[in-house]
Every structure is written in C-alpha cells, then in structure tokens.
Chain A
Amino acid sequence: MKTTTGDGRTLTLSFHNLSLTLGSGANRTDALVDINLEIARGELIAVTGRSGSGKSSLLNVAGGLVEPSSGSVIVDGTDLAALSPSELAAARRRSVGYVFQDLNLLPTLTAAENVSLPLELDGMKPKPARTQAVAALDSVELADLADRYPDEMSGGQRQRVAIARGLVGERTLLLADEPTGALDEVTAEGVMAILRQQCELGASTLMVTHDPSLAAYADRVIRLRDGRIDSVSMNPSLQVTQ
C-alpha cells in the first residue's frame, strides 16, 4: 500500500477511485464520483463547492462515518474497509479529530472535561486524560479557562475548545466542517491560524467551507461539483518554496 506521496512526504489520508451513492431507485444520488486525492502529513486541504456538491459526504467518508459504495479510504496506512466496526471505531478515536460547526460541547462539563472525554471513552484514566486535555487547551491558548463551562465562554473560546477536543491525543487527521462558523473576522482568523499551526506541527486537515477567505488558508483548494473534483487550486506561494 502506498504510504508516501510522489515527493516522499508521508500520506495521512488518501481516497482511491472513491464513489458514494446515496438512496435508491428514483432517489438515487451520486454523492461522490471517482474521487482520487492524497493528503500528506502537515497539509491543509480545503474543500469547496455548492450545497449538495458532496463536501460533507467527503468528510463523512474520510472519518469512517459513512462507508463508500466503491473505492478505498486509507487513513494512516490503514484501509478503513478492512476494519471491523470496533476496529474502525478505535482507529477513528486514535487518528481522527472532528471540528464541526455545531460544536457539540456538553454544557455540564468544563472545557477540560469536554476535551478529555474522547480520551476517557477510549479507556484512558482521568488524570492523564486531563493532562493531555489541558495541553491541548494550551495549544489553543485556553489553558487558563480549562475549568470553565461552555456557557461561561465566548463563541470564539468555545470554538477553540472544540478544536482542542479535535486535536487531543495527537490525532493525525483533523476533519473540519465550517470550523469558524459564525465567528467575527478577527476571531475566525485566530482559529485558522491555530489550524495552520497544527498542520505545521504535523497534523493534516481536511476542511469543508463555503468561504473563499477561509479556503485560501489551505495548501490546496479542491472544488467539488456534482460529487466530482471540478478544479484544484494550489497555493502559489507554497509552490515557490517547495
């Protein structure tokens, strides 16, 4: 199985001839059609396109939440199709972090408890889980607010808690769906700076967004149309340095 890109970088995520069909009969829809895409360690990839173009489907397939109709999804060298449901769940917890627009922070848990929850669900004891959670909160400059509840924080702070939850445990792949939500421009800029920084530290990010300004933070911008890759825009400034 291929584990590096053509120029020798480690592959975090790859799709090979990936297709996804939803519904059946008259309601049958080709959500994704023959997608081939490789994402290297440290890359930030933005996926854009109209509503219904397949963006969210691609994210769900990448995270193992939806099984493709054909083709393969390789995460950290593992073909997700080869895993049993319990192995898939374990691989997801180990490798994949999620940052969704709907933050899903639990209101009765503090920021640190929200962030440590996935680790504890994975069997880690509370004390080391908290240590890792506070370290993740520190990476988004929120260690001081570790014991605050979500309703005691601003929207931008809650968004950063969600990012910390996505990163905790040193996930190699971060899947983000409109990660700045309805945040103001300056706060959104801060969130994107954190995502970029995490990529520089070794995480790979696949981010879905409608917003060209957010997509522009990416190394590559993939535009989907009717489930197919319609165009790819490389970051010209990165092409010069590579």
Chain B
Amino acid sequence: MAVKDALLALLADGPQYGYQLKSAFETATGNNWPLNIGQVYSTLQRLDRDSLIVEAGEPGDDGRRSYELTAAGREALTHWFAAPADPPGTDRDELSMKVLIAVATNPASALLVVNDERTAAMGHLQTLTAHKARATSADLATRLHLDRTVLLADAQVRWLNLVEQRVEQVLSTAPTSHSPNAASSKETRS
C-alpha cells in the first residue's frame, strides 16, 4: 500500500498535521479510500524515523504536530511518481477462481456458470454506470474513481465473453475430451 507515498505527496505543498492529511487524502481519492487516523499517525512516525519528514516547528497549543518534507522525502516522492505502479492484483479474485475451476472440471457446465456470472457482472456494470451518470457534477476525484470502477467491471464482462468463446472452440474441436486442459497439456508434452 502506497499510503506513505501519498502522504509525502500531500506534504509537498507545505506542512500539515495528521487530521489535515487524513482529510486531504480522502478528498483526493474521491472519498472511496477511508483512512484510519491511527494509520496516519503511525505512518507519519515511520516517515519521521526514516528522515523523509520532520516536525515543522513546535507543537501547537492543542498538542498537534505539523510535518514537512525533507530533501530525502522529496527525492522519495519524485521516485514514487516516476516509477510505474504494480499492476492491480485483480487476477486472483473469486470470479476467476470459480470460472477457471469450473472450466477445468466440467467445461460444458462451466458455460452455464459463465452465463450467470456475465449477467451478474452486466448488472453490476449497469449499476455503476447509472451511478456515474448521476455524478456528472461530482468532484473530479469522485468521477475519476467511478471511471475506473466502470472500466474494471467492463473488463469482467469482456473476459467472460472470451471465456465462453474459447471454451466453445475447445469443445467443438475436441468433443470427446472432458477437459480442455487435458487436450492442451498433451500437446505440450508431445
């Protein structure tokens, strides 16, 4: 999780204290990424320990401490924005496991699973799209977040379309084979 990098980025414009950072983080991420204040403070302590931030002046009368970036913190932030992020880890979700296991164990009945999952995925995509259509006056962060969720749901439907088509191709070319994986593994060994 790149929360520490995000906090560095939010500190780039000047000193802030914990609650300000929590609020700024949640606004910037479209209020779809709630952040525990305890996590903010523990992250700030680690960043302080690693000399990426320092306290900005003395604590206020209410005891709140502001932090600001160090030169090393600015360098770490530059590196974060410059380096590509890891690909999203959505390739090991329940849907992909269910579909792959269904195809491996009984491809013909897997097509029924694919059809049901696609109808459900389409319904989810319709819900997100209706939400997005109502959010045209929402802030930019919220709209960008909705765009991403819609596209991820779109990818699920497209993947299920592909699964169906590929399984049908395998079934039509190897009608006596129970498992499409068995056919391909034989080809690999030969």
Name, among B129, B154, B158, the residue most crowded by chain A CB atoms within 10 Å (CB to CB). Answer: B129
- Residues facing A in B106-159 (CB within 8 A) are 115, 118-119, 122-131, 133, 136, 150-151, 153-154, 157-158
Complexed CA–CA distance, A231 and B131 (Å): 23
Q: What's the least CB distance linking A241 to chain B, in Å? A: 10
A-B pairs, top 4 by smallest CB distance, nearest first, are A216-B129, A212-B157, A233-B122, A235-B126
Contact between A212 and B165 (Cβ–Cβ < 8 Å)? Answer: no
Cβ of A233: which chain B residues have Cβ within 8 Å of it?
119, 122-123, 126
Contact at B133–A193, with CB atoms within 8 Å? yes
Residues on A facing B (Cβ under 8 Å): 50, 193, 196, 211-213, 215-218, 221, 223, 230-238
Which B residues contact A (CB, under 8 angstroms)?
115, 118-119, 122-131, 133, 136, 150-151, 153-154, 157-158, 161, 165
Nearest neighbor of B150 in chain A, beta-carbon distance: A213
If A196-B133, A237-B126, A237-B127 touch, whether A213 touches B118 (CB-CB below 8 Å) is: no
Question: B151: nearest residue on chain A (CB-CB)?
Answer: A213
Q: How far is the CA of A223 from the CA of B133 in the complex (A)?
A: 23
Q: Which residues of B contact A238 (CB under 8 A)?
A: 130
Report how far A234 CA is from B124 CA in the complex, Å.
10
B contact patch SS: helix
B157 cross-chain contacts in A, Cβ below 8 A? 212
CB distance from A193 to the nearest CB of B (A): 7
B123 near A236: Cβ-Cβ < 8 Å: yes
Contacts A50-B165, A213-B150 given: A218-B126 contact, CB under 8 Å? Answer: yes
B148 nearest CB across to chain A (Å): 12
* Contact status of A213 and B154, CB under 8 A, knowing A230-B115, A233-B119: yes
**What are 5 A-to-B residue pairs whose CB atoms are below 8 Å?**
A212-B154, A217-B129, A230-B115, A234-B126, A235-B127
User: Contact at B133–A215, with CB atoms within 8 Å?
Assistant: no
CA gap between A1 and B126 in the complex, in Å? 32
**Interface-centre pick from A215, A230, A233, A234 (highest chain B CB count, 10 A):** A233
Q: A221 and B122: CB pair below 8 A?
A: yes
For the complex formed, measure the closest distance between the CB of A122 and the CB atoms of chain B, giving whole angstroms. Answer: 33
Given contacts A193-B133, A236-B127, A238-B130, contact A216 B122 (CB under 8 A): yes
Beyond A193-B133, A212-B125, A221-B122: 11 further Cβ-contacts under 8 Å? A193-B136, A212-B157, A216-B126, A216-B150, A230-B115, A233-B119, A234-B126, A235-B130, A236-B124, A237-B130, A237-B131
- Expressed in whole angstroms, the Cα–Cα distance for A7 and B153 within the complex equals 31
**Distance, CA A193 to CA B153, complexed state (A):** 19
Docked Cα-Cα span, A222 to B184, in Å, equals 34
The reply to whether B126 and A236 contact each other, CB–CB distance below 8 Å, is yes
- Closest chain B residue, CB of each to CB of A233: B122
In the complex, the chain B residue whose C-beta lies closest to that of A220 is B126
Q: Give chain A residues whose Cβ lies under 8 Å from the Cβ of B123.
A: 233-236
Given contacts A212-B158, A213-B150, contact A231 B115 (CB under 8 A): yes
Q: A50-B165, A221-B122, A233-B122 are in contact. Are A216 and B128 (CB under 8 A)?
A: yes
Whether A216 and B125, one on each chain, are in contact in the complex, defined by CB atoms closer than 8 angstroms, is yes
Tell me the bound Cα distance from A217 to B115 in angstroms.
20
Residues of B within 8 A of A237 (CB): 126-127, 130-131
